């Protein structure tokens, strides 16, 4: 009997020929990533009392949640992390101005590749399934355990296969597809599972769009997600990643799947999908919502702050202006993306339309700074969560949608289908 | 925890619904608090601020499906534990929250009927090793899966830190 991608990678990482769903394995970790919460990890690691981390070359720090430091308290944790990294000989430290959002920096700097086991103290670590990585989020104390032992227990997940066919309708994209799926199977629909996305629609997607799918798989509970390991991916990695990896890694043709879900994006997703407050699985087609006033638009985050997202926003906003009763915040996902967006003229277009450009980082997505909402305000956001109080007041509402819908909504000051402009 | 501690007695201080997410448990704005003990102050601050003052040591929270969904923030588990809650019973738990709770030594009990059958104020006696939830107020007993060996071991050791300390650090 064949194995799925998750089974194959966990088998290799745990030194076994075969593993099966529900089996507990100890897997060697290839990469351990933390952002600011590395400071919680550092404290748990100190409590354990081991002096040296297992392998400083396999640990990566990327500051992104509060950059540049918004308070003295944060500045103190940033400083403590820098000192810890120096003392431990951890060289992969992407400081303020040198990186961006962790899930953008990891692939761009060549840290992820097919077959690797990656754990991160961030739930959206599932993003790296777009690179064939078994990649998942863990908590801080668990990470301190990884720093100590270099391995971690996993229950081998069963796998859901999602087959996607059809061509996207105008202004419909990967974000609409994954929101549609989350709405269909619920926020716990893939709990503890691996999810493999296949089919011509996925094959035709850019790597950036595949990252959106892997990233948001977390919001249906997935432990890991996988997108195709194909020539497009090898080409992407060839200019970034120096690690040799198995280019033929694939699920076996006779792998066993718990469930198969089929989506025809052309037929099933005819209009933009919106996750309404305060749950990511509260997904509705835009036309069902009526008039929803929008006070702020946000384009950014580990979900949708990439070059193609800024490009579509710039195209929609070119020669137009942000509605007087709305503000638009743009946060490129990394320094690299910001630079490319400047070179391509997107940033100039966006600034001329009245958008504010924030420095690369998580920005208001995690509710800390750079665009917090007041009571009674609504935000159209290309980010990943709309939980109560996520972006500020508990009496504000976040509507998750594609960057195109954010741009169109910012022009009209209400939730708007870009096709209606 | 000793074997005796694998029996938890406490009062139900809240019965919550499905999808109690990590922002509801512990808002993102306080994530720069990195000392576990200091997280308690903000537990359930946005959605259920009264719980912080109502909680007495050992009180139990009951929730629906997918409790703890969302962020990997360990502060969510820490805030519940250090605010004084003794256990969480829910229909299901999101995976990172589940692992965090195991690692910090916060007992989680899985039962889908609990949020319908248990009421605020009920006194419960939970046997973690057997998985029984005895409702001393109503007289009803609910059955949950017994703790697996790994979970029971970690809880007895007091969580991952004491376990790893014992394994790796000579005293």
The stretches of chain B forming alpha helices (DSSP H) are: 22-25, 50-54, 75-83, 95-104, 114-117, 149-157, 160-168
C-alpha A50/C-alpha A148 separation (Å) is: 7
Q: Is residue A240 predicted with pLDDT exceeding 70?
A: yes
Q: What is the ipTM of this complex?
A: 0.94
A138 chain-B contacts, CB cut-off 8 A: 72, 96, 99
Q: How close does chain B come to A361, measured CA to CA in Å?
A: 15
Q: Is residue A297 predicted with pLDDT exceeding 70?
A: yes
Q: Is residue B2 predicted with pLDDT exceeding 70?
A: no
Residues 6+ apart with CB under 8 A from A238: none
If you average pLDDT over residues A373-399, what whole number do you get?
97
Q: Is residue A195 predicted with pLDDT exceeding 90?
A: yes
Identity of the residue in B24, B27, B103 whose CB atom sits nearest the CB atom of A367: B27
CB A114 within 8 A of CB A241: no
Q: Which of B18, B30, B31, B49 to mutate to test the interface with A (most CBs of A within 10 A)?
A: B31
Q: Is residue B152 predicted with pLDDT exceeding 90?
A: no
What's residue B4's pLDDT? 62
C-alpha A384/C-alpha A362 separation (Å) is: 11
A97-133, pLDDT tens digit by residue?
Answer: 999 999 999 999 999 999 999 999 999 999 999 999 9
What's residue A1's pLDDT? 83
Q: How close does chain A come to B168, measured CA to CA in Å?
A: 7
C-alpha A82/C-alpha A93 separation (Å) is: 8
If you average pLDDT over residues A156-163, what whole number do you get?
98
Q: Quick one: closest CA in B to A157, which residue?
A: B95
Q: How close does chain A come to B100, measured CA to CA in Å?
A: 6
Q: Is residue A225 predicted with pLDDT exceeding 60?
A: yes
B75 interface with A at CB cutoff 8 Å? yes
B38-85, pLDDT tens digit by residue?
Answer: 999 999 999 999 999 999 999 999 999 999 999 999 999 999 999 999
What's residue A45's pLDDT? 98
Q: Is residue A392 predicted with pLDDT exceeding 90?
A: yes
Q: Is residue A356 predicted with pLDDT exceeding 80?
A: yes
If you average pLDDT over residues B114-127, what whole number do you get?
97
A4-24, pLDDT tens digit by residue?
Answer: 999 999 999 999 999 999 999
Helix (H, G, I), strand (E, B) or coil at A49: coil
Q: Do B99 and A385 touch (CB under 8 A)?
A: no
pLDDT band at B147 (very low <50, low <70, confident <90, very high): confident
Q: Which of B95, B106, B159 to mutate to test the interface with A (most CBs of A within 10 A)?
A: B95
Pairing mode, if any, of strands A194-198 and A159-165?
A: parallel
Phi/psi for A147 (5° steps) reads: -60, -30
Q: Do A77 and B47 touch (CB under 8 A)?
A: no
Identity of the residue in B32, B71, B100 whose CB atom sits nearest the CB atom of A73: B32
Pick from A123, A125, A143, A145: nearest CA to A135 = A125
A39 chain-B contacts, CB cut-off 8 A: 34
A258-282, pLDDT tens digit by residue?
Answer: 999 999 999 999 999 999 999 999 9
Residues 6+ apart with CB under 8 A from A274: A179, A283, A284, A285, A286, A289, A399, A400, A401, A405, A415
What's residue B146's pLDDT? 87
Q: Do B73 and A139 touch (CB under 8 A)?
A: yes
What's residue B3's pLDDT? 59
Q: Do B95 and A221 touch (CB under 8 A)?
A: yes
Dihedral (Cα; A268, B20, B25, B116), 10-degree rounding? 170
If you average pLDDT over residues A345-372, what whole number do you get?
97
Q: Do B66 and A138 touch (CB under 8 A)?
A: no
Phi/psi for B31 (5° steps) reads: -70, -15
C-alpha A45/C-alpha A87 separation (Å) is: 14
Q: Quick one: closest CA in A to B148, which residue?
A: A24
B5-17, pLDDT tens digit by residue?
Answer: 789 999 999 999 9
What's residue B86's pLDDT? 95
B44 chain-A contacts, CB cut-off 8 A: none
pLDDT band at B150 (very low <50, low <70, confident <90, very high): confident
Identity of the residue in A40, A48, A142 whose CB atom sits nearest the CB atom of B168: A48
B71 chain-A contacts, CB cut-off 8 A: 122-123, 385
Helix (H, G, I), strand (E, B) or coil at A8: helix
Q: How close does chain B come to A16, measured CA to CA in Å?
A: 21
Averaged pLDDT of chain A: 97
Ramachandran bin of A354, using left for φ above 0, alpha for ψ from -120 to 50, beta for the remaining angles: left
C-alpha A216/C-alpha A123 separation (Å) is: 10
B7 interface with A at CB cutoff 8 Å? no
């Amino acid at each position: 009997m064949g194995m799925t991608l998750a089974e194959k990678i966990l088998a290799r990482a745990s030194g076994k020929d075969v593993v099966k769903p529900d089996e507990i394995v100890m897997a060697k970790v290839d990469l351990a990533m933390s952002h600011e919460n590395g400071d919680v990890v550092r404290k748990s690691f100190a409590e354990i009392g081991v002096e040296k981390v297992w392998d400083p070359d396999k640990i990566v720090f990327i500051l992104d949640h509060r950059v540049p430091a918004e308070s003295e308290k944060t500045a103190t944790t940033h400083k403590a992390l820098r000192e810890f990294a120096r003392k431990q000989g951890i060289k992969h430290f992407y400081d303020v101005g040198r990186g961006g959002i962790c899930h953008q920096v990891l692939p761009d700097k060549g840290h992820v590749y097919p077959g690797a086991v990656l754990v991160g103290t961030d739930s959206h670590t599932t993003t790296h399934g777009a690179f064939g990585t078994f990649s998942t989020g863990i908590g801080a104390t668990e990470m301190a355990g990884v720093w100590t032992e270099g391995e971690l227990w996993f229950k081998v997940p069963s796998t859901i296969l999602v087959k996607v066919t059809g061509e996207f309708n105008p202004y419909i994209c990967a974000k609409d597809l994954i929101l549609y799926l989350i709405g269909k199977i619920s926020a716990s629909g893939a709990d503890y599972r691996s999810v493999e996305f296949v089919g011509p629609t996925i094959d035709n997607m850019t790597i950036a769009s595949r990252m959106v799918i892997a990233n948001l798989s977390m919001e249906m509970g997935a432990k890991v997600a996988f997108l195709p390991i194909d020539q497009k991916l090898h080409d992407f990695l060839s200019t970034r990643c120096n690690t040799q990896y198995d280019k033929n890694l694939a699920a076996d043709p006779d792998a066993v799947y718990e469930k198969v879900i089929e989506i025809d994006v052309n037929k099933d997703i005819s209009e933009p999908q919106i996750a309404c407050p305060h749950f990511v699985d509260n997904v509705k087609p835009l036309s069902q919502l009526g008039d929803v006033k929008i006070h702020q638009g946000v384009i950014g985050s580990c979900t949708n702050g990439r070059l193609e997202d800024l490009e579509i926003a710039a195209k929609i906003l070119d020669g137009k202006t942000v509605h007087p009763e709305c503000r638009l915040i743009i946060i490129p996902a990394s320094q690299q993306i910001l630079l490319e967006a400047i070179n391509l003229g997107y940033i100039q277009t966006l600034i001329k339309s009245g958008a504010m450009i924030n420095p690369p980082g998580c920005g208001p997505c995690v509710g800390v700074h750079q665009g917090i909402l007041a009571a009674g305000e609504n935000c159209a956001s290309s980010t990943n969560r709309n939980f109560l109080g996520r972006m500020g007041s508990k009496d504000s509402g976040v509507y998750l949608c594609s960057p195109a819908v954010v741009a169109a909504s910012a022009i009209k000051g209400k939730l708007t289908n870009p096709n209606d402009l | 925890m000793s074997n005796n501690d694998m029996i938890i007695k406490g009062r139900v201080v809240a019965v919550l619904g499905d999808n109690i997410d990590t922002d509801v448990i512990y808002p993102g704005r306080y994530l720069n608090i990195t000392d576990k003990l200091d997280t308690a102050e903000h537990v359930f601050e946005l959605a259920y601020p009264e719980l912080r003052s109502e909680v007495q040591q050992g009180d139990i929270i009951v929730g629906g499906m997918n409790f703890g969904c969302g962020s990997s923030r360990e502060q969510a588990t820490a805030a519940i534990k250090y605010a004084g809650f003794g256990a969480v019973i829910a229909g299901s738990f999101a995976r990172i929250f589940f692992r965090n709770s195991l690692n910090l030594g916060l007992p989680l009990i899985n039962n889908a009927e609990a949020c319908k059958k248990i009421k605020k104020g009920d006194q419960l006696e939970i046997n973690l090793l057997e998985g029984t939830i005895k409702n001393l107020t109503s007289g009803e007993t609910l059955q949950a899966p017994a703790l697996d060996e790994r979970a029971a071991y970690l809880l007895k050791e007091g969580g991952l830190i004491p376990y790893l300390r014992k394994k790796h650090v000579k005293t």
